[in-house]
Structure 1
């Protein structure tokens, strides 16, 4: 059995698709955003990601931010397990009734000054789920939101732009 599989691997070779061509302008934009985030932060930004009932599409795009291309760790941006260690909440999905209290507690546990970014159409405006018996709708119905990143799901570069916009806004309001 093993030999049969090995022969087939030798015959077929590696089956994968080529890397997507994102274009030079997106690569330059990503680099510019990364340098600006580093210059603004100077230190680390810690993020607590909260899924309040999403389909996990946004989580996949947020996970992509950790790959070597976007290199969030290299920018000093880290995801943390506890809201007590977070500077920013990154919230995805329409807020299900079962997650309403958990989201409020997470928000209350995050120290000031805190940023809240709603990621994806569902978190921004309720998306296809809207507000119903099962969901409270958008994140802003439950906690104050500093920045929204629309898209279903938004690409990693847009999420990075939204994080930068929220950080910029906080820096301006602190001055």
Structure 2
């Protein structure tokens, strides 16, 4: 039961959701290093220290010996940053990491030192969705880290629902799936059936290194090495786990909410 004291207390506290994207992003911890940047031109000749310490083979040589970085495989352990003598691999501190195409997570090719961030869905699909997006979350063998950071978006400080984005209990009530985990063999059939239960047109969002490429379990016989081996993926959000702000930014880019604010001059 509301009392006058309760009402006054809430009036004094005001709105406590984060101001992003209408205002600045919240301050992130000093230890948060964000997306990585790779500049192969700074690589020391024949130095391959970063390749030897990467636990998921996210760093490889390609295109005539150039070092390439796959942020989809990266678990952000920062060992490559620590051993690189020339800082060819360096953190940017940028929380924005979501992309629409798997290949856009590759860094190191000429002109590809940084990410090409996600673009919005096509206009026809956005008109069909209106100003809402309903997602069914599927934990396909995850460790609960990505799941926990996804759940954070439903708390008071983030209030994902104010953007018209909500998680629903049934895939039949959803516009798409948000998948976490490397897709274990035990979850493969369940994921396919859940995807098929979503009405068309439907979309799929892969959250975290496991859902994108298998994470630290990549190559194991009991995992599928990511969601796109089972269902088509429309948005990739890297991280291990990705910060809630990274997930929110990716979802807003997908539905065009950041573009709307840019056009309005926000």
Q: Report the TM-score, using the length of structure 1 for normalisation.
A: 0.72
Q: How many residues align?
A: 137
Matched, 1:25 2:113: no
Q: Give the alignment partner of residue 99 of structure 1, picking from 184, 187, 192.
A: 187
Aligned pair partner of 2:236 in 141, 148, 160 = 148
Contact 1:83/1:106 (<8 A) preserved = yes
> Which residue number corresponds to residue 215 of structure 2?
127
Counterpart Cα distance in 1 of 2:180 and 2:131: 25
- Encode CA deviations 1:105-144: one digit per residue, 9 max, x unaligned: 0111111111100000000111000032111111110100
Alignment of 1:1-175 (within 5 A): 25-27=24-26, 42-168=130-256
Report the secondary structure of 1:116's partner residue: strand
Q: Which runs of 5+ in 1 are unaligned?
A: 1-23, 29-39, 169-175
Asked whether the equivalents of residues 120 and 152 of structure 1 are also in contact (C-alpha less than 8 Å), the reply is yes
Tell me if structure 2 keeps the 8 A contact 1:88–1:115. yes
Distance in 1, Cα, partners of 2:254 & 2:214? 21
The TM-score with structure 2 as length reference comes to 0.48
**How much does 1:74 deviate?**
2.0
Q: Is the 8 A contact 1:52 1:95 kept in 2?
A: yes
Q: Which runs of 5+ in 2 are unaligned?
A: 1-22, 28-125, 257-266
- Taking only aligned residues, the RMSD between alpha carbons, in angstroms, comes to 2.3
CA distance in 2, matches of 1:126, 1:68: 32
8 Å contact from structure 1 (residues 117, 166) kept in 2: no
